[in-house]
């Protein structure tokens, strides 16, 4: 995507986050965690915009390109969850919330495959900003067409929380390597639960192939 278009997309979503963030702060009953996500996404988008603006012409690295896509995805996830919460407040009576086990739509395959989880972010360095990439190699516990659970401690990618976008690299036993993106749906002391981000047919093909490779490995 052209740099001007990416900057336009970042500006648009930054304005949306500012507007909806002010709405969240004005509603006493709004979940604090959700309001926090809107604010964090706005901060990330703003920093990414500055980083992209400062990059030399023709000098956008692959990591910065991925960071721009990740920031937009995180922002849209936060906005989507905020809108879903607002819609739930308008429903009378409220629909019952199913326990997590009952919400699962995809068969999960147990695995011990090692995966590398990686996150691009932006840190402030004095008056400027700098792209930073953090990663950790940890065992996956299960995988499905919907996502993956990775065993990780509190010190692993400590800044990652619900709504964060991670890149996942998997070397499936007896198969080729896969790389996909996932959004953090839950983080607890035992690990990180991810939901795959599928934005194209190519993304879906990777997820399908990864799931099949893990299914074969778990049944071997």
Ordered by start, the domain boundaries in the chain are 3-90, 100-219
Burial class for 220, CB neighbours closer than 10 Å (0-12, 13-18, 19+): exposed
pLDDT of residue 35: 95
Average of per-residue pLDDT values in the chain: 88
pLDDT of residue 113: 84
Write out pLDDT tens, residues 60-102.
Answer: 788 999 999 999 999 999 999 999 999 988 876 555 554 544 4
Percent of the chain clearing pLDDT 70 (strictly above) = 88
Residue 59: pLDDT over 50: yes
pLDDT of residue 220: 65
Q: Which residue has the higher pLDDT, 2 or 186?
A: 186
pLDDT of residue 101: 44
Task: Please name the fold of domain 100-219.
Answer: Thrombin, subunit H (2.40.10)
Mean predicted confidence (pLDDT) in 13-37: 94
Positive or negative, the CA dihedral 126, 71, 13, 29 is: negative
Percent of the chain clearing pLDDT 90 (strictly above) = 65
């Amino acid at each position: 995507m052209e740099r001007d278009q990416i900057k336009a997309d970042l500006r648009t979503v930054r304005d949306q986050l500012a507007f909806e963030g002010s709405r969240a702060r004005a509603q006493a009953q709004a979940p604090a965690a959700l309001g926090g996500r809107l604010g964090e996404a706005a901060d990330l988008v703003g920093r990414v915009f500055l980083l992209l603006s400062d990059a030399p012409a023709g000098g956008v690295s692959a990591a910065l390109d991925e960071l721009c896509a990740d920031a937009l995805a995180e922002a849209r996830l936060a906005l989507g969850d905020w809108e879903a919460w607002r819609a739930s407040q308008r429903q009378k009576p409220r629909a019952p919330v199913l326990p997590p086990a009952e919400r699962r739509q995809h068969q999960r395959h147990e695995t011990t495959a090692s995966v590398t989880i990686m996150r691009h972010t932006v840190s402030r360095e004095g008056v400027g900003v700098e792209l930073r990439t953090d990663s950790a190699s940890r065992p996956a516990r299960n995988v499905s067409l919907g996502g993956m659970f990775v065993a990780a401690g509190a010190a692993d990618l400590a800044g990652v929380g619900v709504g964060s976008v991670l890149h996942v690299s998997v070397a499936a036993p007896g198969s080729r390597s896969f790389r996909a993106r996932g959004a953090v749906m839950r983080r607890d002391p035992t690990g990180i639960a991810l939901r795959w981000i599928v934005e194209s047919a190519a993304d879906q093909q990777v997820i399908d192939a990864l799931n099949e490779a893990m299914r074969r490995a778990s049944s071997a």
